[in-house]
Amino acid sequence: MELENFKQLWNKDTGQESPEISLEKQKEIHSPLQMLKVNMETEFWLMIVTLPLLLTNFPFASADSNIKIISVFVTILTIVIIVYFYSRFLKLYKLLQKNSINTNYDLFNLKTQLLISKEIYIAYYVSYIPLGFLLSLIRINFHFEMEYNLAIFGSSLLITLLLIAFIIKYWIYYMYGRYIDDVVRLVDELNEIEVSPRPQKKKTWFERSQKFFMNKMGIKGNILNTVIWFVSMYIFIILFLTLVFLIVIIAGAKLNLLDIGSLQRALNKLN
Amino acid sequence: MSSPEKEFLEKIEKHKGVIFKISKMYMDNKDDQNDLYQEIIYQAWKSYGDFQKRSDFSTWLYRTALNTAIVFLRSEKKRSFIQNQNVDGLGVRQEPYNDTDDVNMKLMYEAIHQLSPIDKALIFFFLEGFSGKEIAVQLGITEVNTRVKLKRAKEKLKEIITKQGTGSH
């Protein structure tokens, strides 16, 4: 069979077995941009619900009213930052909805939008670094005199940095990055930029659970998957860091590198 | 039904066969083909307000359809692949053709499925009889680039057909 035969076959195929026309949006996600929007929306509400609880809960355990007030301010500031970044994303999403001039323009437009959204997303996580720093300062009452207070301050800051590094490397990739990669490859292919073959990777647990839930519940399944992984990550990170701290404390005490009495006093002061 | 909606549906009705053929080029099972078909209609309806008759409706529609198909994410639903084996599902006969046509049509779509999304778009324009210049305008790339790409896409397709052993048909 030659390609010219394809033309004949193509013309013979009338495509008349097509389904009924519907102008309604399907209840499933079929475009990378829509997937990104649904994921961002889910994450936005998760942040709005969990962050105030997380940020105010620890300082509120303190009897010091100043700590409580500062914590509330930090929480409000954080929420303002989240709302600002999310509104920027929505504005961009609406602005670039229109198509179409040609395929290259539309794909490039989509690629740009996805990459800018990703940068906005990273920026809003990076903005937590000074807030994490501020919270750490609140926790030690802005006093640096005790050696272990300084260690606790450093540890809190390190946790924030690790958490953000983790979010940027893994969370962003599974929530957004893999969809962005696909579009980038298409634009490159269209513009004769060398595209390396896609490495064959085994499906991760995140992808498997996403497939499972979307299979059962469509868009709601995707939202449920995000919520489950978001909460699981919180719990995992807290448990992992607790374990690391315990190992450091036990090993430090055994090797006489830590003075348990001083550490106890520093922790008591915090509480 | 509002006037623009009625007008849009009338226009779409004339081109629904081609839209479904695009769906069949990009998706290899009936469920995904139907999903892509509906998504194309929805995307076209959504941007119909921006169409403003600057170009021919069919050209605009094909471009919208291909742009939707190129980035279309498959559903994560479990799919029935039985339809894919069913050659009768590939088209309604308008003029008499034999079983060899059915088999060849199935092989044609199977071969096209193995191409990249961009190559599929090029082959679509080729099959629809667009010139190199017209394809270049639609894709937004140079005419030279289009010719090179189309040549490569055809070669890939020939290679796939040879591998399929369809030369005997």
State pLDDT tens for residues A211-258: 888 888 878 888 899 899 888 887 887 788 788 878 888 888 888 877
State the DSSP H helix or E strand holding residue A79, giving kind and residue range, or none if neither: helix A65-95
Instruction: Inform me whether the pLDDT recorded for A33 exceeds 90.
Output: no
CB–CB of B91 and A21 under 8 A? no
Query: Shortest CA distance to A71 belongs to which of A133, A134, A127, A125?
Result: A134
What per-residue confidence (pLDDT) applies to B92? 42
The 10s digit of each residue's pLDDT in A156-197 is: 777 777 777 877 778 888 877 888 888 888 888 888 787 777
- Cβ–Cβ below 8 Å for A18 and B78: no
DSSP code per residue over A193-252: ---PPPP--PPPHHHHHHHHHHHHHTHHHHHHHHHHHHHHHHHHHHHHHHHHHHHHHHHH
> Sorting pLDDT into bands at 50, 70 and 90, what band is A3?
confident
Structure tokens at B64: 């919208």
Identify the three-state secondary structure at position A31.
coil
3-state secondary structure chain B: CCHHHHHHHHHHHHHHHHHHHHHHHHCCCHHHHHHHHHHHHHHHHHCHHHHCCCCCHHHHHHHHHHHHHHCCCCCCCCCCCHHHHCHHHHCCCCCCCCHHHHHHHHHHHHHHHCCCHHHHHHHHHHHCCCCHHHHHHHHCCCHHHHHHHHHHHHHHHHHHHHHHCHHHC
Residue to test with chain A: of B38, B64, B145, most A Cβ within 10 A: B38
Tokens at A101, concatenated? 């001039």
Q: Give the torsion sign (CA, A166, A171, A172, A173).
A: positive
For residues B92-119, give the mean pLDDT: 77
User: What phi-psi label fits residue A177: left (phi over 0), alpha (psi between -120 and 50 degrees) or beta?
Assistant: alpha
What's the pLDDT score for residue A46? Answer: 86
Res. B88: pLDDT tops 50: no
| B93: pLDDT strictly greater than 60 | no
pLDDT for res A88: 78
Query: A256: alpha, beta or left, given left = phi > 0 and alpha = psi -120 to 50?
Result: left
Q: Which candidate from A31, A101, A210 shows the least CB-CB separation from B140?
A: A101
Q: Structurally, how many domains does chain A consist of?
A: 1
Topology annotation, domain B1-85: Rna Polymerase Sigma Factor; Chain: A (1.10.1740)
Q: Does residue B23 carry a pLDDT above 80?
A: yes
- Note the CATH number of domain B93-169: 1.10.10.10
- List the domain boundaries for chain B: 1-85, 93-169
pTM score: 0.74
Is there a contact between A21 and B166 if contact means CB atoms under 8 Å apart? no
- Does a structural domain hold residue A8? no
Distance (Å) of CA B118 to CA A51, A197, B26, B135, B146: 43, 15, 10, 12, 11
Q: State mean pLDDT over B124-150.
A: 93
What per-residue confidence (pLDDT) applies to B85? 39
Pick A1's closest partner by Cβ from B37, B64, B167. B167
pLDDT, position A142: 61
Parent domain of A37: 31-191+205-270
Is residue B89's pLDDT more than 50? Answer: no
**A171 with A90: CB under 8 angstroms?**
no
Of B38, B60, B92, the CB nearest to A17: B92
Residue with tokens 């994490």: A132
- Cβ–Cβ under 8 Å, residues B74 and B32: yes
* Residue A3 placed within a domain: no
Q: Kindly tell me if the per-residue pLDDT of B146 is higher than 90.
A: yes
pLDDT at B22 exceeding the cut of 80: yes
Q: How far apart are CA A240 and CA A159, in angstroms?
A: 11
Q: What percent of chain B stands above pLDDT 90? A: 39
* Of the candidate ranges B29-33, B37-41, B130-134, B146-150, the one whose mean pLDDT is the lowest: B29-33
Distance from CA of A230 to the nearest CA of B (A): 21
| pLDDT at B21 exceeding the cut of 90 | yes
Mean pLDDT of A16-22: 76
* Average pLDDT over chain B, rounded to an integer: 81
Question: What's the CA gap between A208 and A231, in Å, rounded?
Answer: 17
**Mean pLDDT to the nearest integer, B37-63:** 84
Residue A160 confidence (pLDDT): 72
Same fold, B1-85 and B93-169: no
Chain A closest-CA separation from residue B35 CA (Å):
8
User: Which tokens hold the place of A51?
Assistant: 């962050």
Residue B168: pLDDT above 70?
no
- Asked if the model's pLDDT at residue A24 lies above 80, the reply is no
* Digit-coded pLDDT (tens) for A100-151: 668 888 888 888 877 887 887 777 777 777 776 776 676 666 665 566 666 7
Question: Among A230-234, A259-263, B88-92, where is mean pLDDT lowest?
Answer: B88-92
Q: Identify the residue with better confidence: B43 or A65.
A: B43
